[in-house]
């Protein structure tokens, strides 16, 4: 079974600074997808960014980018120019690319609570 580990329960960053959230995963599969979701105090789950394992290029969405290290099974999220609205719980998630055995279900890490200080 796949596992996702987020080793930083809490992180803080000053407004306008850059912060990196760590995520590692364990899998024997070669085809999979990785995601970062954000959960603000409203508890609505919002997709931040996604990465297909077969793509070597790191995904980028505006101020959010990932550092995907497939061999190391690492998938960190970098938030640049942090804003107060970035304060939330961030979850790393794994999805198998093998529909027949896993469907499209997500395996989540335990989350990192990000605080943004003004």
Partner 1 sequence: SQTIHQWPATLVQPVGSPLSLECTVEGTSNPNLYWYRQAAGRGLQLLFYSVGIGQISSEVPQNLSASRPQDRQFILSSKKLLLSDSGFYLCAWNWGRGVNIQYFGAGTRLSVL
Nearer to partner 1, 18 or 40 (CB): 40
Contacts with partner 1 by CB under 8 A: the residue count is 23
Contact (CB, 8 A) for 62 and 83:
no
Nearer to partner 1, 78 or 106 (CB): 106
The nearest distance, CB 3 to partner 1, in angstroms, is 11
3-class secondary structure, 3: strand
Interface with partner 1 (CB under 8 A), residue from 52, 65, 76, 115 = 52
Cα 92 to Cα 14, 15, 17, 24, distances in angstroms: 22, 22, 21, 9
Site for partner 1 in 11-40 (CB under 8 A): 33, 35
DSSP H helices in the chain: 99-102
Which tokens hold the place of 96?
């198998």
Site for partner 1 in 70-89 (CB under 8 A): 89
Instruction: Report, in angstroms and rounded to the nearest whole number, the Rg of the chain calculated over CA atoms.
Output: 14
Site for partner 1 in 89-108 (CB under 8 A): 89, 91, 99, 103-108
Interface with partner 1 (CB under 8 A), residue from 88, 111, 114, 116 = 111
């Amino acid at each position: 079974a796949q596992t996702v580990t987020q080793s930083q329960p809490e992180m803080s960053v000053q407004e306008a600074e850059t912060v990196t959230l760590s995520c590692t995963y364990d899998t024997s599969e070669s085809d999979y997808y990785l995601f970062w979701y954000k959960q603000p105090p409203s508890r609505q789950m919002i997709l931040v960014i996604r990465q297909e394992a077969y793509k070597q290029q790191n995904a980028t969405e505006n101020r959010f980018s990932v550092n995907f290290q497939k061999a190391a099974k690492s998938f960190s999220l970098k938030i640049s120019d942090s804003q107060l609205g970035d304060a939330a719980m961030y979850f790393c998630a794994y999805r198998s690319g093998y529909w027949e055995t896993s469907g499209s279900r997500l395996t989540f890490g335990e989350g990192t609570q990000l605080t943004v200080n003004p």
